[in-house]
Amino acid sequence: MKITVRYFASLREAVGQSQEELQTDAENAGQVRDALLARGGAYACLSRDRSVRLALNQVMVNEDALLHENAELAFFPPVTGG
């Protein structure tokens, strides 16, 4: 299926893009994270040694959240608003 992956703040800067279309067989958010980590290089910023938060269709989720066609999956660092 096709999904959109978005990156924010320090992760956006690290990977050098704010979003990309991804063709994937992944069933859940964690498997997308695995696939991105496998790229190596700058994508190490998604390492599980770091605090990375995920949102699926603009709602915070865990890695076991299930994907569907045209889903929007976002990766970002801990939030610091207010």
Partner 1 sequence: MNPRVVIQTEDFDVSQVLDHLRAGDLRVGAICSFVGTVRDTRLLSGNAADEIVSMALEHYPGMTESAIEAMIDEAHQRFDFYQAHVIHRVGELKPADQIVLVAVSSAHRSESFKACEFLMDYLKTQAPFWKKEATPDGAQWVDARVSDDDALARWGIQSRNVG
- Distance from C-alpha of 6 to C-alpha of 19, rounded to nearest angstrom: 4
Residue 77 sits in the site that holds partner 1 (CB under 8 A): yes
Candidates 20-28, 29-37, 38-46, 56-64 — which segment interacts with partner 1 by CB under 8 A? 56-64
Annotate each residue in 17-46 with x if it binds partner 1 (CB under 8 A) or - if it does not, as one string. ------------------------------
Comparison of 66 and 79: residue with beta carbon closer to partner 1: 79
Q: Which of 16, 41, 49, 80 binds partner 1 (CB under 8 A)?
A: 80
